[in-house]
Amino acid sequence: MPSQPLDQATFANSFVEELRGETNPDPGSRQVPGYAYSRVTPTPVAAPHLLAWSDDLGHFLGLVRPPERGPAVDALAGNLVTETMKPFAARYAGHQFGNWAGQLGDGRAMSLGELTATDGSRWELQLKGAGPTPYSRRADGRAVLRSSLREFLCSEAMHYLGVPTTRALSLVGTGDEVVRDMFYNGNQRPEPGAIVARVAPTFVRFGNFQIFAASGEMENLRALADYVIRHHYPELGEPGPAVYVTWFEEVCRRTAVMVAHWMSVGFVHGVMNTDNMSILGLTIDYGPYGWLEPYDPGWTPNTTDFGYRRYAFGQQPQVALWNLARLAEALSLLVAEPNDLRAGFGRYTETLAGTRYRLMLDKLGLSHLAPEEDGKLINDLLKALEAAGADMTIFFRQLSHVAPSLLVAEPGVEEARFTELLAAAAYTPLPSPAYTPLLAWLPRYLARLRQETAAPEHIKTGMLAANPKYVLRNYLAQNAIQAAEKGDLTYLNRLMESLKTPYAEQPEFEEFAAKRPDWAWDMPGCATLSCSS
């Protein structure tokens, strides 16, 4: 399929054509009972210009990279709606921080329709920051460069890490300013506006089902379930009560795989509300996210969550299960025996444990030789990392080099090499009693590694492929934001290039593999963010 500009691409519109929506042109905030979506029109911006583009995703979608300005960028900014686009904002509800919030919906996102990729699959294209919708709840429907750049970078970074995720096609500056209060503390200021084009097979989330169940809209609930199954789970067969049960179990499985990958790379979503949970098991809605630097299961980057730390790193597996239970409550209205849905919870628990175990074995270069011993070894490692507060990414990456080399090293060098490893990952200078558990764990691990039959070089290759060198640390994103706000995209482009091959050494990008610097520990945007970030 030849590549074409976005403004000349043909869009399909299955969500609009197969589900019930309202066509009221009023963009004002309101309740929208009885509908799955509202047809909307993007609000034009002053001077749309391309800031960033995902070449790989664009190629997959059969799109050519647009010039900085022109019709394709106008479409990416909402200034141009082509004949085949049928923009809509979805209606959904959700539990936010554990509390029922009622109708939410796409308050600053508008889907333009679906593009057919080069492999024949369909992908929904959504603009975030394109203006108000009926679901904007007194907000302006806009987004700032700060949050848009973070979402663009993280969507693509997660994809290249191998984590199930939505994607981002482009980042467009609007030429307008948007007033935001970053930490909700009364310090409003104008910031440059931007729009990110997000891409996924669908942006349907748990909350889309919750709104129908809570409102007693059975026909809409069943129609949405049938739509999702037919388009995104066709292998399950024709929708019906039995298939709904099987489908929920598969949603549980996919969600478990996603969360296991988060835990493997140290990713903290930051705002796991039910309206931020994809029905496809994809990471969605990149807001106040972060990566563990000092290993701390209780850490959250979200200032809104500092009181209870509901969405802290170590809480993510349990919160995902809680969210699945809320989805089950909605879907229970469609099945003959609601208790049948409980099998999905078992599938989630089993898949999460199995996937996390497998991913940890890969990170440690171990095969399935000694499950009981390895399970204890993994648990002890995580406790030791927490006690030390070591940098998670750097520790595992350094281990990938050091441990296999010790398999063929002269005796007596282990202690020195282990000390060097910990020094590279340490935020607290060595020597320190905080590192005693790790120093005791490393010889145990090396003894277990010596039981492997694979060649040391093969073990090293496997570990390097499982332990990224480059992740999107918040201070790196903040550096890119500050430069972009001044009109300099060099840092953004270099950072994006490094994140496209996060498991490669890439010595030319060594600066992006460094620990969080001292200046970033308390700087807004580096250590802490809010839901508006």
Known catalytic residues? 275
Residue 122's nearest CA partner among 47, 214, 199, 189 is 199
How many Å apart are CA 207 and CA 139, to the nearest integer? 20
Q: How many CB atoms are located within 10 Å of the residue 153 CB?
A: 24
Are 503 and 465 a contacting pair, CB within 8 Å? yes
Which residues, in sequence order, are CB contacts of 148 under 8 Å at separation 6+? 128, 129, 171, 194, 195, 196
Question: HSE (CB half, 13 Å, CA atoms) of 528?
Answer: 12
Q: What dihedral angle (degrees, nearest 10) is formed by the CA atoms of 429, 265, 169, 324?
A: -130
What are the backbone angles phi and psi of residue 163, rounded to the nearest 5°? -90, 135
Q: How far is CA 224 from CA 233, 252, 298, 359, in A?
A: 13, 18, 37, 34
The residues pairing with 196 across neighbouring beta strands, listed in sequence order, are 128, 171
Residue ranges of alpha helices (H) inside 201-331 are: 206-215, 218-232, 241-265, 316-331
How many Å apart are CA 82 and CA 74, to the nearest integer? 10
Q: How far is CA 201 from CA 15, 125, 160, in A?
A: 11, 9, 18
Are 268 and 300 a contacting pair, CB within 8 Å? yes
Q: What dihedral angle (degrees, nearest 10) is formed by the CA atoms of 508, 514, 518, 524?
A: 90
Are 183 and 524 a contacting pair, CB within 8 Å? yes
Q: What dihedral angle (degrees, nearest 10) is formed by the CA atoms of 380, 385, 386, 387?
A: 90
Residue 140's nearest CA partner among 169, 87, 178, 104 is 178
Residue 296's nearest CA partner among 387, 380, 377 is 387
Three-class SS string for 34-51?
A: CCCEEECCCCCCCCCEEE
Q: Exposed/middle/buried for 157, CB within 10 Å: 0-12, 13-18, 19+?
A: buried
Which residues, in sequence order, are CB contacts of 523 under 8 Å at separation 6+? 475, 478
Give the end-to-end CA distance of the chain in Å, rounded to a whole number. 38
Q: Exposed/middle/buried for 296, CB within 10 Å: 0-12, 13-18, 19+?
A: middle
How many Å apart are CA 109 and CA 107, to the nearest integer? 6
Q: Give the SS3 label for residue 158.
A: helix
Extract the tokens encoding 200. 């996924």
